């Protein structure tokens, strides 16, 4: 996104800039770690995309021992 979207202030949306650089070497290292079962991302729940509002409420309550994955 480039700049603040039109109407952001109307909805009290905070916009902050950040930069990221692709790093193919690091991505390869992470893939190797996954292949050796040395890296994983804990999944707390899997929910349907249609349940996104409920997923957001669960996330906001906190206390999850992992991520919420949304599937089609």
Distance of alpha carbon 25 from the chain centroid: 22
Q: Average pLDDT in the 26-31 region?
A: 94
Q: Average pLDDT in the 32-55 region?
A: 94
- Of 18, 70, 19, which Cα lies nearest the Cα of 49? 70
Label residue 1 by pLDDT band (50, 70, 90).
low
Residue 48 dihedral angles phi and psi, to the nearest 5° = -75, 150
Residue 45 DSSP SS3: strand
């Amino acid at each position: 996104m480039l700049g603040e979207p039109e109407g952001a202030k109307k909805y009290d949306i905070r916009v902050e800039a950040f930069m990221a650089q692709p790093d193919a070497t690091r991505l390869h290292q992470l893939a190797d770690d996954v292949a050796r079962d040395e890296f994983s991302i804990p999944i707390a729940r899997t929910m349907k995309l249609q349940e996104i509002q409920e997923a957001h409420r669960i996330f906001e309550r906190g206390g999850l021992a992992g991520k919420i994955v949304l599937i089609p």
